[in-house]
Amino acid sequence: MIVRISGEDQYRLADEQKDRLNELDNAVVTACEGGDEQGYADTFAALLDYVRSNGERVGDDELAGSDLILPPADLSFAEAGTAFNGEGLIPD
Amino acid sequence: MAGLTGRMSTVVKAKVSKLLDRAEDPAETLDYSYQKQVEQLQNVKKGIADVVTAKKRLQMQEKTLQQSVVKLDTQARQALSSGNEDLARTALERKNVAQTELQGLDGQVAELEQQQQKLIDSEQKLRAKIESFRTKKEVIKAQYSAAEAQVRISEAATGVGEQMADVGLAMQRAVDKTENMKARADAVSELEAAGTFDDITALGGGEDDIDRQLKQLSSQPAVDEDLEKMKAELGKGGGGEAPQIAPSGGAGEGAQPSESGQA
């Protein structure tokens, strides 16, 4: 499974690690929905750290699409709530 | 995955497939992708140039404000040593506003610096992927049957397309940040145009509209504190002689207390 952290790199993770990623992602969503800004910052950082420390970086000369794409590390609390609806962050 | 990451993935994948769907046969996909890649690299270069321009503008404003802070501080001392406490207070209020703006600009310049570095990194990564794409497409053309070539081209194009979408995202964020900073830079320019940081000795005796607004803007305790500190410093040597004032003012004009007395 290849996971991209937007604005950084692609990482190769074992398929079994998907469950853990799901848990971490759910924690981010829960913090966002609860309006918990500090909780969002903590859980989102934990999600990215998990990928960075458990994944193996994909080389720049390797061309592969990602199975999963994580938002950039500097995504603000406000952006997390709204920016990925519709056009949002990524221009055509 | 339906959460934050799921939404992000869906949006990016839609962008990439939209990009690739525009071409029908493998050869066309290669050409189209490559052409898009080169265009995107040019865009990134332009984005970096925009960020650098915005940063330079903010840095110039920083310099002006730094000069104003020094000047207003000197003038406050001059006013106080010649017994004009009201004028000294006005100068300190203005100095306070300039310092607050300066702190804001510091943070923004640092943020733009980060954006610039991120874009440079993104450009390098995209360049590496494009180079890899160029090599792969020759291999694919030479070694594979039409059906298999189609699959491999599509893989390679997806890989590079995703990188392009990602650089596009980084660019968009940099542009948004730069826009916000332009608004702040404009606000500082307006303050400058309104004479906020002008020579305090040129002021008349009466309080004008700018003064009243400034008093609301500036934090009064900070000004009071500055004023008391300055009084203590001036009082120490017994009568606030000019030699004591000059070193902290730093400028040659520091030894002309009589001028501020006229204002």
Residue B24, pLDDT > 80, answer: no
B172 to A89: CB separation less than 8 angstroms, yes or no: yes
Residue B11 near chain A (CB below 8 Å): yes
A91 to B131: CB separation less than 8 angstroms, yes or no: no
How many angstroms separate the CA of residue B143 from the nearest CA in chain A? 18
The minimal CB distance from A69 to the residues B12, B131, B155 is found for B12
Residues of A in contact with B131 (CB under 8 A): 61
Residue B1 near chain A (CB below 8 Å): yes
DSSP notation for B105-171: HHHHHHHHHHHHHHHHHHHHHHHHHHHHHHHHHHHHHHHS-HHHHHHHHHHHHHHHHHHHHHHHHHH
CA geometry: angle A49, A53, A55, nearest 5 deg: 110
Q: What is the pLDDT of residue A52?
A: 95
At A85, the pLDDT band (50, 70, 90 cuts) reads very low
User: Are the C-beta atoms of residues B81 and B240 closer than 8 Å to each other?
Assistant: yes
Distance CA B21, CA B18 (A): 5
A–B: how many Cβ contacts below 8 A? Answer: 105
B173 to A80: CB separation less than 8 angstroms, yes or no: no
A25 to B3: CB separation less than 8 angstroms, yes or no: yes
The minimal CB distance from A61 to the residues B4, B11, B132 is found for B132
Residues of B in contact with A89 (CB under 8 A): 11, 169, 172-173
Residue B173 near chain A (CB below 8 Å): yes
* Segment B220-247 mean pLDDT: 68
CB atoms inside a 10 Å sphere around CB B65: 23
Residue B243, pLDDT > 50, answer: no
Q: Which two tokens stand for residue B218?
A: 């500036």
Distance CA B80, CA B57 (A): 35
| Nearest residue to A25 (alpha-carbon basis) of A6, A37, A3, A43 | A43
What is the amino acid identity at position B37? Answer: Q
Distance CA A69, CA A90 (A): 13
Residue B98, pLDDT > 70, answer: yes
Q: Which two tokens stand for residue B126?
A: 């995209």
> Is this model's pTM higher than 0.80 or not?
no
A91 to B171: CB separation less than 8 angstroms, yes or no: yes
Q: What is the pLDDT of residue B257?
A: 45
A69 to B4: CB separation less than 8 angstroms, yes or no: no
Least confident of B91-100, B155-164, B173-182, B205-214: B205-214
Q: Which residues contact A8 (CB under 8 A, 6 or more apart)?
A: A52, A72, A73
